[in-house]
Amino acid sequence: MLGPVMKKSFHLVSVFLASAALLPADWLTFDHDPQRTGWAWQESTLTPESVTNLELKWSTQLDNAPLALDALTAPLLARDVLTPSGLKSLVYVAGSSNRLFAIDVASGAIVWQRTLENFVKAKEDPFYLCPNAVNATPVIDRRQNMIFVLAYDGRLFGLDLGSGVVKFGPFQLVPPFAKAWSLNLSQGFVYTTTSQGCGGDRSGIYAIQVDQAGHHETYETVVRQGFGAGMWSRGGTAIGTNGRLYVTTGDGAFNPAAGDYGSTFLAASMPELNIVDAFSPSNWSELNKRDLDLPSGGELFFSYRDRNLIVGGGKEAVVYLLDADSLGSKDHRTPLYVSPRLGNEKRVLEEKGFWGSPALWRDEHDQPWIYLPLWGEPSSEAMKLASSNGAALHGSILGFKVETDAVAKNPQLKLMWISPDINLPDAPAVANGVVFVLATGENPQQDKVIGKTNFKSKQDWKQNLLTTEERGQGTHPAVLKALDAKTGKLLYSGQNAMKTWNHFGGLAIDDGRVYAVDHSSTLYCFGLKNK
């Protein structure tokens, strides 16, 4: 019989090495791995005891002009990269204005930067829904020593990790100025999703073969015959160890026979992207009516005992736990578990609910925990279910245990704690019993008249949207926070370390350091004092 330590090691190997060549200290893709767990399972330096000694190690201002709300993508990290000046560990971020940067983790110095060539011009000025910018977090392929980045003209570039020299492509993957989301990589294919109809794009899942420099196959699946049903979750796709790709879709019609999959969890084959399974909530029509679509909360793949699972939620602040091998059971409407409404009691379409991606942690007993970022106050029901760490008017992280229902024997979620107040939390990341989260400080208001729907034209609709300048008003500098993963207790708050607010960023963790970005196009490195 395997002991607890051996069982945990076996689980880690089976889950994390099955679909990606992860080196022990690499953060190669958004939320760390193809499953989008946000868990730096290899980290040992950062602990609940040590994070009280965090400090800002360095910050690097990068030559990148923000476009609308976009600035820098979530950081990625690769250790022991061969550069012209020797082996270095590098942090990579893409810039909204079509640039890619590699920064030395030891000093914060720029090792190389590359402007991606472009031959087309956008027909419309950028605004927050369609920024005409690099929006997708890149992905690193250690096997080929490349980082893949999607330029704003829709072409995919593969660049050498150490020098920035173009080694793959560029090849067209999505339409120019489409709004694409974080890249994912599995078995020689890069995947992304699109949303909002930017650049004339329809909501789609895209795949391109990248393991043969002179040859590539591409696949595309459109999930709505018109516009809508955008797949705008931060991570784009979650790739399961069961060989399936998972996405959540936004508002739109649900009629699978006609190829319409609005407000749905979808599973697709890889790499062909055939839709093989779907789950749509029972209150699908109400979600559409109130604009409470699912992608704001994203999706995460993980395993528990003998089950492959998907967890996620959206603006409604309801979390779903699904069987990844049979989404929604035979009727595609039956989840393994659905929570009560944990926030957004008034069901408004913006500023409330789950915004960001879930994260996973397994404690010393191999007990899975799930963490979700909630905007706005927790609901009265949530307050009854969990221990509180004080009032949370602007937002919080919710911590759940994964357990087995005593009667149905199905996995379920048990809300354990609610964190202290966090001013609009971003997607959390977890390391060795510590949940890290960025309080973004952004202005989340999107519309001048909230709830208005009777628009006479597209121009009338756009005039109701706040401008980038208006969205920048009333913001506050982002703040890195650290929470105890078992209790939600605040362990660290990096006040006054960052310059400005952040919108749809992300964190990376490695070797006792945490990396974050803000809207000023600055990259920050936090680490332990005297190390």
The one-digit pLDDT tens for each residue of the chain (531 residues) are 334 333 333 344 334 434 344 455 699 999 999 999 999 999 999 999 999 999 999 999 999 999 999 999 999 999 999 999 999 999 999 999 999 999 999 999 999 999 999 999 998 888 888 999 999 999 999 999 999 999 999 999 999 999 999 999 999 999 999 999 999 999 999 999 999 889 989 889 999 999 987 778 999 998 876 666 689 999 999 999 999 999 999 988 888 888 888 899 999 999 999 999 999 999 988 888 888 989 999 999 999 999 999 999 999 999 999 999 999 998 999 999 999 999 999 888 778 999 999 999 999 999 999 999 999 999 999 999 999 999 999 999 999 999 999 888 899 999 999 999 999 999 999 999 999 999 999 999 888 877 666 777 767 777 888 888 888 899 999 999 999 999 999 999 999 999 999 999 999 999 999 999 999 999 999 999 988
Work out whether the CA dihedral 363, 400, 403, 331 comes out positive or negative. negative
Spatial contact of 11 and 3, defined as CB atoms under 8 Å apart: no
Spatial contact of 464 and 448, defined as CB atoms under 8 Å apart: yes
Phi then psi for residue 284, to 5 deg, are -50, -45
Spatial contact of 530 and 514, defined as CB atoms under 8 Å apart: no
d(CA 225, CA 223): 7
Structural domain of 409 = 4-528
Q: How many residues are given for the chain?
A: 531
pTM of the predicted structure, to 2 decimals: 0.94
d(CA 484, CA 492): 10
Task: Please name the helix (run of DSSP H) or strand (run of DSSP E) that holds residue 54, with its range, or none.
Answer: strand 54-61
Count of domains observed in the chain: 1
Three-state SS at 386: coil
Bridge partners, residue 115, by sequence: 99
d(CA 172, CA 166): 15
Which two three-digit tokens encode residue 38?
């946000």
The whole-angstrom distance between residue 240's C-alpha and the CA centroid of its chain comes to 15
- For residue 380, give the CATH number of its domain: 2.140.10.10
Three-state SS at 389: coil
d(CA 507, CA 438): 8
d(CA 491, CA 436): 10
Given its phi and psi angles, is residue 456 left (phi above 0), alpha (psi -120 to 50 degrees) or beta?
alpha
